[in-house]
Amino acid sequence: TVQPVALMRLGVFVPKPSKSKGESKEIDATKAFSQLEIAKAEGYDDIKITGPRLDMDTDFKTWIGVIYAFSKYGLSSNTIQLSFQEFAKACGFPSKRLDAKLRLTIHESLGRLRNKGIAFKRGKDAKGGYQTGLLKVGRFDADLDLIELEADSKLWELFQLDYRVLLQHHALRALPKKEAAQAIYTFIESLPQNPLPLSFARIRERLALQSAVGEQNRIIKKAIEQLKTIGYLDCSIEKERPGNFC
E strand or H helix at 23, and its extent?
A: none
- Report the distance separating Cα 41 and Cα 128, nearest Å: 12
The DSSP output letter for 95 is G
Predicted confidence at residue 206, as pLDDT, reads 86
With H, G, I as helix, E, B as strand and everything else as coil, classify residue 239: coil
First-residue to last-residue Cα distance in the chain:
27
For the segment 67-92, what is each residue's pLDDT rounded down to a tens digit?
999 989 998 899 999 999 999 999 98
Answer whether residue 64 shows pLDDT above 60: yes
- Residue 14 scores a pLDDT above 50: yes
1 band by pLDDT with thresholds 50, 70 and 90? very low
Q: pLDDT per residue over 126-149, tens digit each? A: 899 999 999 999 999 989 999 999
Give the C-alpha distances (Å, rounded to integers) separating 29 from 21, 24, 149, 216.
Answer: 21, 14, 24, 24
The DSSP code sequence of 183-216 is: HHHHHHHHSPSS----BHHHHHHHHT--S-HHHH
pLDDT bucket at 162, cuts 50 / 70 / 90: low
DSSP 238: B
Summarize the confidence of residues 46-59 as an average pLDDT.
Answer: 94
Q: Work out the pLDDT band at 2, boundaries 50, 70, 90.
A: very low
Q: Is the pLDDT of residue 94 over 80?
A: yes
Structure pTM? 0.79
DSSP letters spanning 118-168: EEEEETTTTSEEEEEES-SEEEEETTTTEEEEE--GGGGGGG---HHHHHH
List the domain boundaries for the chain: 2-168
Query: What is the b/e burial string over 180-208, where b = at least 16 CB atoms within 10 angstroms of the residue's CB?
Result: bbbbbbbbbbbeeeeeeebebebbbebbb
Q: Phi and psi for 113 in degrees, rounded to 5?
A: -65, -40
Q: Give pLDDT tens digits for 202-219.
A: 899 888 888 899 999 999
Q: What is the DSSP letter of 235?
A: -
pLDDT value at 25 more than 60: yes
The mean pLDDT value for 145-155 works out to 95
